[in-house]
Structure 1
Amino acid sequence: MEYYLPVKQLHMFCAYLNATLFVLRLLLDLAGKPGWRLSPVRHLPHINDTLLLTLAFMLLAIGPWQPFAHQWLGFKILLLIGYILFGIAALKQRLSLPVRVACTVMALSQLAGIFYLARFKPLLFV
């Protein structure tokens, strides 16, 4: 349990970095600069996501939270799956702009839900 706080802080940093990198990639695409897709920087989000997921599993292993006993955590995992799927669609160049915008709104909404649940840990269903 002594490692819980540093692991949690690193996990939170990676989560904020994930959101920042996602928005940055969206803005670069919107500005008509898809060159980031060809640079070595394109691998940074994948490295960060791997670290973020590893830290999440570490928190589950050393912390007091259980996905099925704590409703907010189970719902957060469902939102994460939605965020991943809509985020992938939002970054697909072959999709039309209106579809990508709708996917972006959905991905960012789910990301906001993830941050809310992580911060406040509400009791969802009584």
Structure 2
Amino acid sequence: MEHYALIKQLHMTAAGLSLALFVVRAWWSVRESPRLGQRWVKVLPHLIDTALLVLGVLLMVMLSMWPQHHPWLAAKLVALLVYIGLGTLAIKRGSTPGARALAGLAAVAVFLYMVGAAIHHHPLSWMAG
């Protein structure tokens, strides 16, 4: 547990970077910007999201917090899958700019739900506070 605070801070920083980069990429997708095709735009989000996931799993193991014992953690992991699905619609698979924009907004809402679940340690997220 000696590195807990650092790992938690890195996890939260990666989450913030992940959200910021997602919003930029979703905006570019809605605007049909050629910037989405740049190599760094395709690589950097995967590096950040991998770090975010690895750090989250590391925290879970360090604290011995398992989703089957902590409903808020299980809800957060389910929300992560929803976020990933909405993210692919927002950036790649949405058929129209409007559909991509709607998926992007929904993905941000799900991301904010995950933040609330993590802060309040409750599956009701912000509604639990």
How would you bin the TM-score normalised by the shorter chain? 0.7 to 0.9
CA distance in 1, matches of 2:123, 2:97: 37
The code of the aligned residue for 2:55 comes to: L
Tell me if 1:72 matches 2:57: no
CA distance in 1, matches of 2:38, 2:23: 18
The code of the aligned residue for 2:53 comes to: L
After TM superposition, give the deviation of residue 2 of structure 1 in Å. 1.3
2:44 aligns with 44
Instruction: Between 23-32 and 77-86, report the one with greater CA deviation.
Output: 23-32
Secondary structure, in 3 states, of the residue corresponding to 1:2? coil
1:107 aligns with 107
2:118 aligns with 118
CA distance in 1, matches of 2:66, 2:93: 38
Kindly tell me the number of residue pairs found equivalent between the two proteins. Answer: 124
Secondary structure, in 3 states, of the residue corresponding to 1:91? helix
After TM superposition, give the deviation of residue 105 of structure 1 in Å. 2.2
Task: In structure 1, list runs of 5 or more residues that go unmatched.
Answer: none
More helix per residue: 1 or 2?
2
Runs of 4+ in 1 over 4 A off after TM superposition: none
Matches for 1:77-88 after TM superposition, within 5 Å = 77-88=77-88
The code of the aligned residue for 2:29 comes to: D
CA distance in 2, matches of 1:75, 1:113: 10
TM-score using structure 2 length: 0.86
CA distance in 2, matches of 1:38, 1:123: 37
After TM superposition, give the deviation of residue 48 of structure 1 in Å. 0.5
After TM superposition, give the deviation of residue 94 of structure 1 in Å. 5.9
CA distance in 2, matches of 1:56, 1:62: 10
After TM superposition, give the deviation of residue 4 of structure 1 in Å. 1.4
Q: Output one character per residue of 1:36-55: Cα deviation in whole Å (capped at 9) or x when no partner.
A: 32233321000001111111
CA contact (8 A) 2:18 2:45 kept: yes
Instruction: Between 63-72 and 43-52, report the one with greater CA deviation.
Output: 63-72
CA contact (8 A) 2:18 2:49 kept: yes
After TM superposition, give the deviation of residue 117 of structure 1 in Å. 0.7
